[in-house]
Amino acid sequence: MKEKINNLISKEKNMKEKIIAIVNQKGGVGKTTTTINLGTELAKHHKNVLLVDFDPQGSLSIGLGVRDEEIPSMSELMLAEMNDQELPEKKNIVLELDYVDLIPANITLSAVEISLINTTCREMILKNILQKYKKGYDYILVDCGPSLGMLTVNALTAADSVLIPASAEFLSAKGLEQLLGSVAKTKRKLNPELQIEGILFTMVQEQTRLAKEMINMVQKAYGKLNIYDVRIPRSIDVGTAIRQGKTIREFNHKNKAAEAYQQLAKEVLKHE
Ligand SMILES: Nc1ncnc2c1ncn2[C@@H]1O[C@H](COP(=O)(O)OP(=O)(O)O)[C@@H](O)[C@H]1O
Ligand SMILES: [Mg+2]
């Protein structure tokens, strides 16, 4: 709540809200972890932050302690927008947590993805939804699921930029190429302003040769893109923190990954 008051200060600057899609079609690369920890760190810099769960697995919602499947969630918003119905008032859908706000999601979102196929302007649904709720936020982080399907295309269409967490050890050149291909296609056809916010190496164990080789490969092939200087180290505390509904900094502020996420927030802010 204290943070919320501080957040009012940033509104005076009249900054445009920025929507960042957190995307990688691979699961388990740190998308949700990055959404939670980056979002909270941005809030600690007095930014007003909305986190959007856009993965039918609902890991972001669960990680933030929202387990109730009965509450209104992203599926209701999607269905309302798809059927040209009025969207609910912000207070009836956006949850106010300690540092950030959240639009939750759950498994019902997977059925919505299927019905999107027969919807007109099916790529624009999330963009239209966020149009209603984004006002007053500095950052909106959209946590995507592990696919390049219709939901992710919606996120890419709604976003100003894309942040790509890539697990250094399991990074595949082909996967990254496919992902950047999808980004390029969305930019060409649907969202000409779309930018790559940056590539973030996650779960890095510096000492392994494989990780070093993969990072070198990406730097060589995609050096023109922003690759964050900071890398998120692998640490068992990261998973433990999430399971306890905490950010890594709350769980153990001396942890190297906690420091790394603070650094990441600074790099993202510099990009403004
Ligand atoms: N830096 C890290 N070190 C160790 N484990 C991590 C780290 N980041 C994420 N994890 C763990 O890896 C798993 C996948 O992370 P998650 O953020 O859910 O990935 P995604 O959203 O891409 O599927 C989770 O169990 C999470 O706790
Ligand atoms: Mg996830």
Any idea which ligand is nearest the CA of 168?
1
66 CA to centre of ligand 1 in angstroms: 18
What integer pLDDT is reported at residue 77 of this predicted model?
Answer: 98
Which helix (H) or strand (E) segment holds residue 52: the answer is strand 49-54
Give start and end residues of each alpha helix (H) in 98-235: 108-116, 125-133, 150-158, 173-189, 209-222
What integer pLDDT is reported at residue 14 of this predicted model?
Answer: 53
| Helices 31-44 and 256-270: angle between axes, nearest 10 degrees | 70
171 CA to centre of ligand 2 in angstroms: 16
- Whether 45 is in the pocket of ligand 1, judged by its Cβ within 6 Å, is no
What integer pLDDT is reported at residue 12 of this predicted model?
Answer: 47
- Whether 29 is in the pocket of ligand 1, judged by its Cβ within 6 Å, is yes
Q: List, for the chain, all residue ranges whose pLDDT scores fall below the cut of 70.
A: 1-15, 170
Domains and CATH numbers, the chain: 2-270 (3.40.50.300)
- Whether 154 is in the pocket of ligand 1, judged by its Cβ within 6 Å, is no
Residue whose Cα lies nearest atom 25 of ligand 1: it is: 239
Closest by Cα among 75, 74, 51 to 64? 51
48 CA to centre of ligand 1 in angstroms: 24
Q: What is the pTM of this model?
A: 0.93
- Whether 60 is in the pocket of ligand 1, judged by its Cβ within 6 Å, is no
The alpha carbon dihedral of 251, 136, 145, 191 has a sign of negative
What integer pLDDT is reported at residue 215 of this predicted model?
Answer: 80
Any idea which ligand is nearest the CA of 28?
1
CA distance 30 to 232: 9
Any idea which ligand is nearest the CA of 55?
2
- Whether 37 is in the pocket of ligand 1, judged by its Cβ within 6 Å, is no
